[in-house]
Structure 1
Amino acid sequence: MKNCIFLCITIVSVFSFKGNAQNSKFYVTDKVSDKYAYVDVIKTYERIAAKGYKSIDIFKKIGDSYYFKADFDKAAKWYCELFAISIDLEPEYYYQYAKCLTFIGQNDRANEILEKLKQKSEAILEKKNRNLR
């Protein structure tokens, strides 16, 4: 009887472990000799953008990548492309773009972006207040 219970617990634990292992996010790249092959996704996105493909998602990813690496000159370039496509963006992009512009010395343009952020924030607050009434 004890052996049967032990066997059941062992089987259940093995299957539950396998189920958890399948849900984990672990990726293996193709192996090139003894080294792994990696793809520089940002460089790939830049090549796609250079060929003329314009996408809000691509410009966000490239700009964010350079922003979080503190390469504000390149980040400002891609955020400029992003804002040329659309100004209906999340507030964090206004702030990040303004910060990049400040770091590269374009304070007047940074102030314009922050003013647009302020106007957008006021519009959002006004809309929320109307909905609460």
Structure 2
Amino acid sequence: MNKFIFDRKTNEDVIIVNAVIEGKYEFRLALDTAATHTTIDSNVLYFSGYELKDSKGEKEIETSNGIIIIEIYQIEVLNSLGINKTNFEVQVYDFLAHGILSDYDGVIGLNFLQDNKVCIDFKNSEIVID
């Protein structure tokens, strides 16, 4: 069992967790239990050493702001919340090119969490992964 403390100053803040690609590049993701798939900014992929030309294809997805086109990539190792996913498929979107500026670099979706018991304890500001 792993416990992770999160900080939310207001009820409007999202839960931010650290993630690492290939054990080298650390970045921040929002924990999004409404997202079916994990999505990261294309700049994270680039700085992690992936070639943007190596996309497995593109796909239309529906977001709360409408339909967007994302690229699909296979990440060798993605780690967050003590969970290691190998050969993990992520959606990639160029946040900056589409005017998205935020304190995080994407979202962890249900596909990352699905093989684990996950408890988000808002009272104690912790996430427990079992």
Higher relative contact order (CA 8 A, sep 6+): 2
Instruction: Name the structure where strand makes up a greater proportion of residues.
Output: 2
User: TM-score, normalising length from structure 2?
Assistant: 0.24
Instruction: Name the structure where helix makes up a greater proportion of residues.
Output: 1
- Which structure has the larger Rg over C-alpha atoms? 1
